[in-house]
Structure 1
Amino acid sequence: MVIRITSDDRKIPGRLAPVFFLTLAILFSSGQPVRAQTAEPPVSSQPVPNGLELSKLIWSTMAAVDHANQSGNYSVLRDNAAPGFQLLNNPARLSEIFAGLRASRFDLSNSLLLAPTYSAAPAVVEDNVIRVQGAFGLRPTAISFDLYYQWVEGKWRLYGVSIGQESIANIQPEAAPRR
Protein backbone atom coordinates (compact mmCIF):
# COMPACT_ATOMS: atom_id res chain seq x y z
CA MET A 1 0.00 0.00 0.00
CA VAL A 2 1.36 3.43 -0.93
CA ILE A 3 0.14 6.61 0.73
CA ARG A 4 1.17 9.99 -0.61
CA ILE A 5 0.52 13.20 1.21
CA THR A 6 0.32 16.24 -1.04
CA SER A 7 -0.45 19.89 -0.63
CA ASP A 8 -3.80 19.60 -2.43
CA ASP A 9 -2.33 22.05 -4.91
CA ARG A 10 -2.07 24.81 -2.32
CA LYS A 11 0.53 27.33 -3.42
CA ILE A 12 3.11 28.86 -1.14
CA PRO A 13 4.36 32.07 -2.76
CA GLY A 14 7.85 31.67 -4.19
CA ARG A 15 8.08 28.01 -3.18
CA LEU A 16 7.37 24.64 -4.69
CA ALA A 17 3.94 23.40 -3.62
CA PRO A 18 5.22 20.91 -1.01
CA VAL A 19 5.00 17.25 -1.82
CA PHE A 20 4.93 15.23 1.35
CA PHE A 21 4.63 11.54 0.97
CA LEU A 22 5.43 8.41 2.87
CA THR A 23 5.76 5.03 1.30
CA LEU A 24 4.28 2.46 3.63
CA ALA A 25 4.83 -0.47 1.29
CA ILE A 26 6.82 -3.59 1.87
CA LEU A 27 8.53 -2.86 -1.44
CA PHE A 28 9.49 0.73 -2.18
CA SER A 29 7.31 2.25 -4.90
CA SER A 30 9.17 3.69 -7.88
CA GLY A 31 6.47 6.32 -8.53
CA GLN A 32 7.90 9.79 -8.72
CA PRO A 33 6.16 13.12 -8.13
CA VAL A 34 5.30 14.94 -11.34
CA ARG A 35 7.25 18.15 -11.82
CA ALA A 36 6.90 20.85 -14.43
CA GLN A 37 9.72 20.88 -17.00
CA THR A 38 11.64 24.12 -17.28
CA ALA A 39 14.11 25.35 -19.87
CA GLU A 40 16.89 25.76 -17.28
CA PRO A 41 17.63 23.51 -14.31
CA PRO A 42 16.84 25.05 -10.92
CA VAL A 43 19.68 26.71 -9.05
CA SER A 44 20.00 26.92 -5.29
CA SER A 45 21.48 29.93 -3.56
CA GLN A 46 22.90 27.43 -1.04
CA PRO A 47 25.39 24.72 -1.99
CA VAL A 48 24.07 21.17 -1.95
CA PRO A 49 25.54 19.48 1.11
CA ASN A 50 27.95 16.67 0.37
CA GLY A 51 29.85 13.90 2.10
CA LEU A 52 29.43 13.74 5.84
CA GLU A 53 27.09 16.76 6.00
CA LEU A 54 24.61 15.06 3.66
CA SER A 55 24.86 11.76 5.54
CA LYS A 56 24.18 13.58 8.83
CA LEU A 57 21.00 15.11 7.38
CA ILE A 58 19.75 11.70 6.29
CA TRP A 59 20.70 9.96 9.56
CA SER A 60 19.02 12.74 11.52
CA THR A 61 15.82 12.29 9.53
CA MET A 62 15.85 8.52 9.98
CA ALA A 63 16.45 8.88 13.73
CA ALA A 64 13.68 11.49 14.06
CA VAL A 65 11.14 9.30 12.25
CA ASP A 66 12.25 6.25 14.26
CA HIS A 67 11.92 8.10 17.59
CA ALA A 68 8.53 9.49 16.59
CA ASN A 69 7.36 5.99 15.63
CA GLN A 70 8.60 4.51 18.91
CA SER A 71 7.03 7.19 21.09
CA GLY A 72 3.95 7.97 18.99
CA ASN A 73 4.88 11.64 19.42
CA TYR A 74 5.48 13.45 16.11
CA SER A 75 5.82 16.96 17.53
CA VAL A 76 9.63 17.13 17.35
CA LEU A 77 9.71 15.72 13.80
CA ARG A 78 7.18 18.35 12.74
CA ASP A 79 8.73 21.23 14.68
CA ASN A 80 12.18 20.64 13.15
CA ALA A 81 10.81 20.48 9.60
CA ALA A 82 10.43 23.30 7.06
CA PRO A 83 7.48 25.69 7.47
CA GLY A 84 5.56 24.18 4.51
CA PHE A 85 5.78 20.73 6.09
CA GLN A 86 4.57 22.15 9.41
CA LEU A 87 1.68 23.94 7.71
CA LEU A 88 0.33 20.75 6.16
CA ASN A 89 1.11 18.26 8.92
CA ASN A 90 0.11 18.52 12.56
CA PRO A 91 1.36 15.82 14.99
CA ALA A 92 -1.97 13.93 14.88
CA ARG A 93 -1.90 13.78 11.08
CA LEU A 94 1.72 12.57 11.10
CA SER A 95 0.73 9.86 13.57
CA GLU A 96 -1.96 8.70 11.13
CA ILE A 97 0.44 8.86 8.17
CA PHE A 98 3.11 6.80 9.91
CA ALA A 99 0.65 4.32 11.48
CA GLY A 100 1.38 1.59 8.92
CA LEU A 101 5.14 1.94 9.25
CA ARG A 102 4.80 1.98 13.04
CA ALA A 103 2.56 -1.11 12.99
CA SER A 104 5.06 -3.00 10.81
CA ARG A 105 7.67 -2.54 13.58
CA PHE A 106 10.19 -1.66 10.89
CA ASP A 107 13.38 -0.68 12.77
CA LEU A 108 14.70 2.49 11.15
CA SER A 109 17.49 2.80 13.71
CA ASN A 110 19.47 0.19 11.75
CA SER A 111 20.04 2.90 9.14
CA LEU A 112 22.37 4.60 11.61
CA LEU A 113 24.82 1.71 11.28
CA LEU A 114 25.69 2.32 7.61
CA ALA A 115 26.52 5.13 5.25
CA PRO A 116 23.72 5.84 2.78
CA THR A 117 24.07 4.66 -0.81
CA TYR A 118 22.71 7.14 -3.34
CA SER A 119 20.59 6.01 -6.28
CA ALA A 120 20.92 9.46 -7.83
CA ALA A 121 23.12 12.43 -7.12
CA PRO A 122 21.54 14.95 -4.75
CA ALA A 123 19.75 17.49 -6.93
CA VAL A 124 18.28 20.95 -6.62
CA VAL A 125 14.59 20.69 -7.53
CA GLU A 126 13.79 24.33 -6.87
CA ASP A 127 15.58 27.31 -5.39
CA ASN A 128 16.69 26.20 -1.91
CA VAL A 129 15.04 22.75 -2.15
CA ILE A 130 17.12 19.61 -2.70
CA ARG A 131 16.15 16.00 -3.29
CA VAL A 132 18.20 13.07 -1.98
CA GLN A 133 17.42 9.48 -3.03
CA GLY A 134 19.02 6.22 -1.98
CA ALA A 135 19.05 3.40 0.50
CA PHE A 136 20.80 1.82 3.43
CA GLY A 137 21.98 -1.60 2.23
CA LEU A 138 20.90 -3.67 5.20
CA ARG A 139 20.42 -7.40 4.71
CA PRO A 140 18.04 -8.95 3.91
CA THR A 141 15.84 -5.86 3.73
CA ALA A 142 17.25 -2.46 2.81
CA ILE A 143 15.78 0.85 3.92
CA SER A 144 15.09 3.10 0.93
CA PHE A 145 14.53 6.85 1.12
CA ASP A 146 13.49 9.77 -1.03
CA LEU A 147 13.96 12.97 0.96
CA TYR A 148 13.51 16.67 0.28
CA TYR A 149 15.20 19.40 2.30
CA GLN A 150 14.64 23.15 2.19
CA TRP A 151 17.17 25.80 3.22
CA VAL A 152 15.45 27.76 6.01
CA GLU A 153 17.02 30.16 8.48
CA GLY A 154 20.57 29.00 7.82
CA LYS A 155 20.05 25.23 7.78
CA TRP A 156 18.55 22.42 5.73
CA ARG A 157 15.18 21.33 7.11
CA LEU A 158 12.98 18.37 6.18
CA TYR A 159 10.52 19.29 3.43
CA GLY A 160 9.28 15.87 2.26
CA VAL A 161 9.89 12.24 3.16
CA SER A 162 9.43 8.79 1.65
CA ILE A 163 10.75 5.76 3.51
CA GLY A 164 10.27 2.12 2.64
CA GLN A 165 11.66 -1.38 2.69
CA GLU A 166 13.32 -2.87 -0.36
CA SER A 167 15.13 -6.06 -1.26
CA ILE A 168 18.88 -5.59 -1.13
CA ALA A 169 19.02 -7.04 -4.67
CA ASN A 170 17.13 -3.97 -5.95
CA ILE A 171 19.65 -1.46 -4.58
CA GLN A 172 21.87 -0.25 -7.41
CA PRO A 173 23.83 2.92 -6.83
CA GLU A 174 23.89 5.23 -9.87
CA ALA A 175 25.81 8.21 -8.61
CA ALA A 176 27.67 9.36 -5.54
CA PRO A 177 27.37 12.84 -4.07
CA ARG A 178 30.05 15.34 -5.01
CA ARG A 179 33.04 15.42 -2.70
Structure 2
Amino acid sequence: MQKAAHPASIDRNGVLILIRSTLLALNQANKTGNYTVLRDLGSPNFQANSAAGLGDIFASQRKQALDFSAVAVLDPQLTLLPQIEPNGMLHIAGFFPSVPLQVNFELLFEPVNRQWKVYGVSVNLTSGGPQAPDTPAAEPPKRAVTGPPPDGPSIAVQAKKGTKAVKP
Protein backbone atom coordinates (compact mmCIF):
# COMPACT_ATOMS: atom_id res chain seq x y z
CA MET A 1 0.00 0.00 0.00
CA GLN A 2 1.38 3.39 -1.03
CA LYS A 3 1.77 6.04 1.65
CA ALA A 4 -0.24 9.22 1.23
CA ALA A 5 1.05 12.75 1.64
CA HIS A 6 0.37 14.18 5.09
CA PRO A 7 0.50 17.66 6.65
CA ALA A 8 3.97 18.80 7.68
CA SER A 9 4.66 19.71 11.28
CA ILE A 10 6.29 23.08 10.61
CA ASP A 11 5.38 26.49 11.98
CA ARG A 12 4.48 29.54 9.90
CA ASN A 13 7.83 31.23 10.46
CA GLY A 14 9.68 28.14 9.34
CA VAL A 15 7.60 28.00 6.16
CA LEU A 16 8.20 31.70 5.44
CA ILE A 17 11.95 31.29 5.95
CA LEU A 18 12.13 28.33 3.56
CA ILE A 19 10.07 30.04 0.85
CA ARG A 20 11.68 33.46 1.07
CA SER A 21 15.28 32.27 1.42
CA THR A 22 14.93 29.95 -1.58
CA LEU A 23 13.25 32.48 -3.86
CA LEU A 24 15.57 35.32 -2.82
CA ALA A 25 18.61 33.10 -3.46
CA LEU A 26 17.23 32.36 -6.94
CA ASN A 27 16.49 36.04 -7.54
CA GLN A 28 20.03 37.05 -6.52
CA ALA A 29 21.53 34.27 -8.63
CA ASN A 30 19.55 35.52 -11.62
CA LYS A 31 20.70 39.11 -11.03
CA THR A 32 24.38 38.24 -10.63
CA GLY A 33 24.64 35.23 -12.94
CA ASN A 34 26.32 33.38 -10.05
CA TYR A 35 24.39 30.25 -9.06
CA THR A 36 26.97 28.92 -6.59
CA VAL A 37 25.09 29.95 -3.43
CA LEU A 38 21.76 28.64 -4.74
CA ARG A 39 23.45 25.34 -5.58
CA ASP A 40 25.20 25.16 -2.21
CA LEU A 41 21.92 25.75 -0.34
CA GLY A 42 20.46 22.67 -1.99
CA SER A 43 20.40 19.04 -1.00
CA PRO A 44 23.15 16.76 -2.30
CA ASN A 45 20.75 15.64 -5.04
CA PHE A 46 20.12 19.25 -6.08
CA GLN A 47 23.89 19.84 -6.03
CA ALA A 48 24.17 17.27 -8.82
CA ASN A 49 23.56 20.39 -10.95
CA SER A 50 26.69 22.45 -11.45
CA ALA A 51 26.48 26.21 -10.88
CA ALA A 52 27.01 26.65 -14.63
CA GLY A 53 24.23 24.15 -15.33
CA LEU A 54 21.84 26.09 -13.10
CA GLY A 55 22.88 29.24 -14.98
CA ASP A 56 21.85 27.55 -18.22
CA ILE A 57 18.55 26.41 -16.74
CA PHE A 58 17.68 29.89 -15.48
CA ALA A 59 19.12 31.80 -18.48
CA SER A 60 15.65 32.76 -19.74
CA GLN A 61 14.70 34.43 -16.45
CA ARG A 62 18.08 36.16 -16.29
CA LYS A 63 17.82 37.47 -19.88
CA GLN A 64 14.34 38.82 -19.16
CA ALA A 65 15.72 40.59 -16.07
CA LEU A 66 12.83 39.24 -14.03
CA ASP A 67 12.78 40.66 -10.53
CA PHE A 68 10.89 38.92 -7.79
CA SER A 69 12.49 40.60 -4.79
CA ALA A 70 8.98 41.53 -3.59
CA VAL A 71 8.91 38.11 -1.94
CA ALA A 72 11.02 39.68 0.83
CA VAL A 73 8.12 41.82 2.07
CA LEU A 74 4.90 40.27 0.78
CA ASP A 75 3.15 37.36 2.48
CA PRO A 76 2.72 34.28 0.31
CA GLN A 77 -0.71 32.82 -0.29
CA LEU A 78 -0.36 29.04 -0.10
CA THR A 79 -2.26 26.91 -2.60
CA LEU A 80 -0.72 23.73 -1.21
CA LEU A 81 -0.18 23.76 2.54
CA PRO A 82 3.17 22.29 3.61
CA GLN A 83 2.96 18.54 3.34
CA ILE A 84 5.29 15.59 3.52
CA GLU A 85 5.18 13.55 0.33
CA PRO A 86 5.41 9.74 0.43
CA ASN A 87 9.10 10.06 -0.52
CA GLY A 88 9.74 12.15 2.66
CA MET A 89 10.08 15.51 0.88
CA LEU A 90 8.45 18.72 2.11
CA HIS A 91 6.21 20.16 -0.62
CA ILE A 92 4.90 23.76 -0.61
CA ALA A 93 3.17 25.76 -3.35
CA GLY A 94 1.58 29.17 -3.63
CA PHE A 95 1.99 32.69 -4.93
CA PHE A 96 2.94 36.19 -3.90
CA PRO A 97 0.14 38.61 -4.90
CA SER A 98 2.47 41.17 -6.44
CA VAL A 99 1.65 43.63 -9.22
CA PRO A 100 2.19 43.85 -12.16
CA LEU A 101 3.55 40.29 -12.08
CA GLN A 102 2.47 37.67 -9.57
CA VAL A 103 5.21 35.28 -8.41
CA ASN A 104 3.96 31.68 -8.44
CA PHE A 105 6.11 29.00 -6.83
CA GLU A 106 6.26 25.34 -6.04
CA LEU A 107 9.09 24.04 -3.88
CA LEU A 108 10.38 20.67 -2.74
CA PHE A 109 12.78 20.28 0.17
CA GLU A 110 14.74 17.17 1.08
CA PRO A 111 15.65 16.37 4.69
CA VAL A 112 19.44 16.49 5.17
CA ASN A 113 21.03 16.34 8.64
CA ARG A 114 17.79 17.46 10.32
CA GLN A 115 17.42 20.47 7.97
CA TRP A 116 15.23 21.05 4.93
CA LYS A 117 17.41 21.60 1.84
CA VAL A 118 16.21 22.71 -1.59
CA TYR A 119 15.52 19.80 -3.94
CA GLY A 120 13.09 21.24 -6.49
CA VAL A 121 12.21 24.77 -7.58
CA SER A 122 9.46 25.89 -9.91
CA VAL A 123 8.83 29.60 -10.40
CA ASN A 124 6.73 31.44 -12.93
CA LEU A 125 5.37 34.94 -13.23
CA THR A 126 1.87 35.76 -14.38
CA SER A 127 -0.13 38.96 -14.56
CA GLY A 128 -0.87 40.17 -11.03
CA GLY A 129 -4.16 41.24 -9.59
CA PRO A 130 -7.47 39.45 -9.21
CA GLN A 131 -8.29 36.95 -11.93
CA ALA A 132 -11.24 34.63 -12.41
CA PRO A 133 -10.35 30.96 -12.12
CA ASP A 134 -10.36 28.84 -15.27
CA THR A 135 -12.86 26.42 -13.74
CA PRO A 136 -14.85 26.70 -10.51
CA ALA A 137 -13.31 23.58 -8.95
CA ALA A 138 -9.79 23.86 -10.37
CA GLU A 139 -7.11 22.30 -8.17
CA PRO A 140 -3.53 23.58 -8.10
CA PRO A 141 -0.93 21.38 -9.78
CA LYS A 142 0.60 18.72 -7.51
CA ARG A 143 4.11 18.41 -9.03
CA ALA A 144 6.90 20.93 -9.48
CA VAL A 145 8.10 19.61 -12.82
CA THR A 146 5.03 19.98 -14.99
CA GLY A 147 5.25 21.91 -18.23
CA PRO A 148 5.31 25.69 -18.12
CA PRO A 149 2.01 27.53 -18.15
CA PRO A 150 1.24 29.20 -21.47
CA ASP A 151 0.93 32.71 -20.02
CA GLY A 152 4.30 33.32 -18.38
CA PRO A 153 7.92 32.36 -18.05
CA SER A 154 8.53 29.24 -16.03
CA ILE A 155 11.51 27.35 -14.75
CA ALA A 156 11.57 24.03 -12.98
CA VAL A 157 14.63 22.37 -11.51
CA GLN A 158 14.50 19.06 -9.80
CA ALA A 159 17.62 16.97 -9.57
CA LYS A 160 17.53 13.22 -9.84
CA LYS A 161 20.29 11.02 -8.56
CA GLY A 162 22.94 10.55 -11.24
CA THR A 163 21.38 12.99 -13.72
CA LYS A 164 21.44 16.69 -14.42
CA ALA A 165 18.31 18.79 -14.42
CA VAL A 166 17.30 19.99 -17.83
CA LYS A 167 15.08 22.73 -19.12
CA PRO A 168 11.45 21.62 -19.03
Asked if 2 retains the 8 angstrom alpha-carbon contact of 1:79 and 1:86, the reply is yes
Cα pair 1:43 1:124 within 8 Å, conserved:
yes
| Equivalent position of 2:20 in the other structure | 59
State the TM-score, normalized to the length of structure 1: 0.68
Deviation digits for residues 15-53 of structure 1 (CA, Å, limit 9, x no counterpart): xxxxxxxxxxxxxxxxxxxxxxx6431469xx5423111
Spell out the pairing of 1:2-151 with structure 2 (5 A cutoff).
39-42=2-5, 47-87=8-48, 89-151=49-111
Q: Secondary structure at the match of 1:126?
A: coil
Q: Normalising by the residue count of structure 2, what TM-score does the alignment of the two structures yield? A: 0.72
Contact 1:43–1:127 (CA<8 Å) still a contact in 2?
no
Unaligned stretches of 5+ in structure 2?
134-138, 140-168
Helix, strand or coil: the match of 1:86?
Answer: helix
Runs (4+) of structure 1 exceeding 4 A deviation are none
> Quick one: distance in 1 between partners of 2:71 and 2:34?
20
- How many residues align structurally? 134
Stretches of structure 1 lacking an aligned partner (at least 5 in a row): 1-37, 175-179
* Contact persistence 1:148–1:159 (CA under 8 A): yes
Give the aligned CA root-mean-square deviation in angstroms. Answer: 2.3
**Aligned equivalent of 1:154:** 114
**What amino acid maps onto 1:40 in structure 2?**
K
Q: Secondary structure at the match of 2:42?
A: coil
